[in-house]
Structure 1
Amino acid sequence: MSTTSPASDISRRDHSNAGSKGTVPPDADARRHRKNNKVVLKKKVTLLRGISIIIGTIIGAGIFISPKGILQHTGTVGMALVMWTACGVLSLFGALSYAELGTSIKKSGAHYTYILEAFGPLPAFVRVWVELIIIRPASTAVISLAFGQYILQPIFMPCGIPEIAIKFVTTIGITAIMYINSMSVSWTARLQIFLTFWKLAAILIIIIPGMVQLFRGETQHFNEAFHAKEVNLMGIPLAFYSGMYAYAGWFYMNFVTEEVDNPEKNIPLAICISMAVVTVGYVLTNVAYFVVMSPEELLASEAVAVTFAERLLGKFSVAVPILVALSCFGSMNGGIFAVARMFFVASREGHLPEILSMIHVRKHTPLPAVIVLYPLTVLMLFMSDIYSLLNFLSFARWLFIGLAVTGLVYMRYTRPNMPRPFKVPLFIPAFFAFTCLFIVALSLYSDPINTGIGFAITLTGIPAYYLFVVWDKKPKCFKRLMDSMTKTLQIILEVVPAEQHND
């Protein structure tokens, strides 16, 4: 007589059918739970979120506040519009090159990662060194100050805004961005989508009335559009910097490659859609400006979008500073979200302190890599020559982007069997890299002082590399101190090293 109960029979049947279709073994749920709760950066960047990261970071304050840099260095309305278009096309070439890199090298980090793969650790370290100590804190501080100024403008209008009030609100804005990026990838992405919508709305508010005026025959400022008293060839590199700075951001999705859902499809799609929208939007926005303002008036304006709105939109013009502020806030958010991943990857490679490669145990965000920028950025707010600092380092940004795309060409020959799900014609990266490096070289001639200072700052990365990375015979007391600091910060921030994917 069998002593087996019916429940035992059912249990045995369940286990015997564990491998059959439609039945999940008991330990599979546990494995799935462990996989879903791994301490890793999860794939939460969809196509829409990728587009919002790119558009939302490219469109900052520049197109609304001071698009006069290109006009100032080209001299004519026609050449200014040609330069805006050319910078858009050139940015598209760079973006397509990065689409190939991002689908071939499926690591986050963008410039840093691609230079590391192609040319080794020294140039990659110099790139992340300059980004960490100068470029990112300074550029975040600049866009944050614009946010503080324009969010307060409707309150203080028509009076001037006290500088202390701008810096106070700016600090609040930076703190809020850092907090959101530290707490949730989903919050950050949703905020970016929301802010991108308002950026595009702000551009349409300028383009549509401008086009209406143009079709009504307001074309007087386009007469003799290419006529200039003299042609200044040395102004071309500076006009290029102004234009490419306005388009800067097409590479931000490559900073978060490891978090992109279906990167082979979504990275190229997001890049192409975003660049088409931004290029058309920028060119038409500048056409709208020139419909309403003469070149002389545009150069004299402190905030072109506000001047435009006051002349054409009447009482509604008070909304423009708010939209500019939201645009700045979106650029801050997208920039911090993306660049924190560069620091995360550089730390993982041993080029930055170990703590920066750790992830919050519950939030699954690279918390230390996000907040490392906070003290440096706030410090930059109180530097009087912050704008000069950005001028010094414009060349460094494009030098390393040109180098990264040169790496694409180089790896076509040194690593021909590398999987390339998205592959661009070779002339596209070759032309982009040549243009970037040629303009960088020309800027050394046309603006030797500022470019030379930026070059000197960049070179400080070489001794830093040998001191912090190569030199492994550091005193034991120093190593104990660093280990102690790392453990203490781990406890305070509740972070641990990222687990490896085992897909």
Structure 2
Amino acid sequence: MAIADKAGTSGDAPRVQLRKQITLFHCVSIIVGIIIGSGIFVSPVGILQNVQSVGMSLLLWTVCGIFSTLCAICFAELGACIPESGGEYMYIKRAFGDFLSFICLWINLVIIQPVGTAASTLIFATYILRPVYPDCEPPKVAIRLIGVCVYAFLTAINVFNVKWATKVQAIITASKLSALIMVIVIGLIWIVQGNTINFQNPFANSDYSAGSVAIAFYSGFWAFGGWNYLNFLADEVIEPNRNLPSAILISMAIVTVVYLVANVAYFAVLTPQEMLLSSAVAVTFAEQTVRPVVWIMPILIAISVMGSMNGSMLSMSRLFFVGSRHNHLPEVISMISVRFSTPAPSLIVMCILTITMQNFEEIFYLIEMMGFGFATVLTTTLAALIHLRWKEPDLKRPIKLPVVLPILLFFISISILVLTVYQKPQQSGLAILIIACGIPLYLFGTWRSKPASIQNILVKITEFIQKLMYVAAEDDENSKTLNNDDVTKLLTENSPE
């Protein structure tokens, strides 16, 4: 039993629990802030290099936006009828039970979150240092050090105050949209001035082969990644039945339009060949249009990546928090900071995993495993939506889509999964191996009837971490209340002499 379970009541003291304090505006800021990261600024060449033409590139961006929006709407149905933090983890658990939900949690814990975030910290550091090292690559030591510092800084913000984190996200979202608006305005000015040569016969030399189109689609779909993260925060969203689907629809409309128009702006200034040779399209764009202030663009890219990290941290920490509450992760991860009412242990675990992943030299090789991991989770979630229609037909669904839509998306996501294995067999094989490692952990970690000796050790470790971090188990509707004085007294009484 953890320390918090021993506490008594204290009148009308506030409960130790997460608070509903995320508004519709914050929801939109979180989703847009997560999706618009380094992708649109750094490497929109992922589609172009496969389909080889301006017209097909813009068509694929549109298709990817529509597909992502449809997937997001399916998640909105699930989020509205199951308004609990944890996102797809909770949906899969409700539909298929503990094992598949644990695998979903495991994939996010060891593949999707730490690898992606570690890469983002390195990208942030690389671009924030670009003005200092304009003619060469920044030192690796400096990149790693700054990456660690920025992630630790964001962790501290998220630990101390959720409102601070959402305000930071809103500010960063406004900054990155401002950068994109600058790109769009400059591109439109160039078009008005008659620079439309790249849009003449736009489908010339297009590669229509299934493999090329499929890989291009995969690259674009990755650029829209993050639309599902708000579902992890459902417990903290004010009026989730209304604000969750509204935020998803508003955010996806904003991102799709911005991505499409930004690519039109890029093509107004840069030829396809120039884009393919560029490691950072937005920087190359700035060099040809606003050279005197070209140093601003790497900073704006870094700020954009920082926003993606902050939004990911805000959302994913709740996933692991919820997984711990359901006995799929150590108990302490489900505890709340008594002072700040935030899931501090979950955030700190994420920080440790991310910093650890930074030390792998093959970090970008590992990033390619994310495609397999995310496709696996997406496919299983869509299957959960379809299964719940049959398993719980009377479940209240504020949003109810035609069942043919999730079925269609399910088969498309299956195709993406198969394609990932075909195109990236080594990365997919490693991902499968890592996922398989979760099976014995599931069998042991969720083993409730552990011997008393093992249980006592786990209790002592949990209590030590509680004392160290000043955290307590979250109260539910039927639990006893616990205030700061209760926990302070309890920690003092249980502290070593």
Matches within 5 A, 1:90-105: 90-105=67-82
SS at match of 1:234: helix
* 1:226–1:453 CA distance, 2 compared to 1 (3 A): farther
SS at match of 2:342: coil
Residue 256 (structure 2) pairs with residue 279 (structure 1): yes
The residue that corresponds to 1:459 in the other structure is 436
The residue that corresponds to 1:228 in the other structure is 205
Higher relative contact order structure (alpha carbons within 8 Å, sequence separation ≥ 6): 2
Q: Deviations over 1:397-435 (max 9, x none)?
A: 122112112211221121111011122232332222221
* 1:186–1:502 CA distance, 2 compared to 1 (3 A): farther
Shift of 1:252: 1.2
Shift of 1:70: 1.3
* Matched residue type, 1:457: I
- 2: CA distance between counterparts of 1:149 and 1:115? 38
The residue that corresponds to 1:434 in the other structure is 411
The residue that corresponds to 1:380 in the other structure is 357
- 2: CA distance between counterparts of 1:385 and 1:316? 34
Shift of 1:229: 6.7
- 2: CA distance between counterparts of 1:444 and 1:141? 23
Residue 271 (structure 2) pairs with residue 294 (structure 1): yes
- 1: CA distance between counterparts of 2:56 and 2:238? 41
SS at match of 2:336: strand
The residue that corresponds to 2:144 in the other structure is 167
The counterpart of 2:164, out of the listed 176, 180, 187, is 187
The residue that corresponds to 2:457 in the other structure is 481
The residue that corresponds to 2:477 in the other structure is 501
Whether contact under 8 Å (1:58, 1:331) holds in the other structure is yes
The residue that corresponds to 2:85 in the other structure is 108
The residue that corresponds to 1:405 in the other structure is 382
* 1:147–1:394 CA distance, 2 compared to 1 (3 A): same
Residue 192 (structure 2) pairs with residue 215 (structure 1): yes
Shift of 1:300: 0.9
Residue 353 (structure 2) pairs with residue 367 (structure 1): no
Matches within 5 A, 1:198-347: 198-228=175-205, 230-347=207-324
Identity percentage over the alignment?
Answer: 39
Q: Deviations over 1:346-376 (max 9, x none)?
A: 0000100000110011200000011101122
Shift of 1:475: 4.6
Shift of 1:463: 2.5
Residue 38 (structure 2) pairs with residue 61 (structure 1): yes
Higher mean C-alpha deviation, range 417-426 or range 41-50: 417-426
The residue that corresponds to 2:492 in the other structure is none
* 1:457–1:417 CA distance, 2 compared to 1 (3 A): same
Residue 358 (structure 2) pairs with residue 416 (structure 1): no
In the comparison of the two structures, how many residue pairs are matched?
A: 470
Shift of 1:288: 1.1
- 1: CA distance between counterparts of 2:68 and 2:432? 23
* Matched residue type, 1:160: E
- 1: CA distance between counterparts of 2:265 and 2:272? 12
SS at match of 2:130: helix
Shift of 1:444: 2.4
* 1:502–1:202 CA distance, 2 compared to 1 (3 A): farther
The counterpart of 1:196, out of the listed 142, 161, 173, is 173
Residue 332 (structure 2) pairs with residue 355 (structure 1): yes
Whether contact under 8 Å (1:256, 1:341) holds in the other structure is yes
* Matched residue type, 1:490: Q
- 1: CA distance between counterparts of 2:215 and 2:425? 12
- 1: CA distance between counterparts of 2:400 and 2:294? 46
- 2: CA distance between counterparts of 1:422 and 1:54? 19
Shift of 1:440: 1.0
The residue that corresponds to 2:493 in the other structure is none
* Matched residue type, 1:364: S
Query: How well do the aligned residues superpose, as a CA RMSD in angstroms?
Result: 1.7
* Matched residue type, 1:465: Y
SS at match of 2:397: coil
Higher mean C-alpha deviation, range 328-337 or range 376-385: 376-385
Whether contact under 8 Å (1:344, 1:357) holds in the other structure is yes
- 2: CA distance between counterparts of 1:307 and 1:229? 24
> TM-score of the superposition, structure 1-length normalised?
0.90
- 1: CA distance between counterparts of 2:369 and 2:169? 29
Whether contact under 8 Å (1:140, 1:332) holds in the other structure is yes
* Matched residue type, 1:398: A
Residue 424 (structure 2) pairs with residue 447 (structure 1): yes
Q: Deviations over 1:473-503 (max 9, x none)?
A: 5454332221111000001111111001369
Higher mean C-alpha deviation, range 123-132 or range 150-159: 150-159
The residue that corresponds to 1:146 in the other structure is 123
- 1: CA distance between counterparts of 2:204 and 2:442? 50
- 2: CA distance between counterparts of 1:73 and 1:169? 34
Task: Give unpaired runs (5+ residues) of structure 2.
Answer: 1-9, 480-497
* 1:159–1:449 CA distance, 2 compared to 1 (3 A): closer
Task: Give unpaired runs (5+ residues) of structure 1.
Answer: 1-29
The counterpart of 1:491, out of the listed 467, 486, 489, is 467
Shift of 1:188: 0.6
SS at match of 2:295: helix
SS at match of 2:60: helix
The residue that corresponds to 2:53 in the other structure is 76
- Considering only CA atoms, is the larger Rg found in Structure 1 or Structure 2? 1
* Matched residue type, 2:84: K
Whether contact under 8 Å (1:234, 1:446) holds in the other structure is no
> TM-score of the superposition, structure 2-length normalised?
0.91
* Matched residue type, 2:164: W
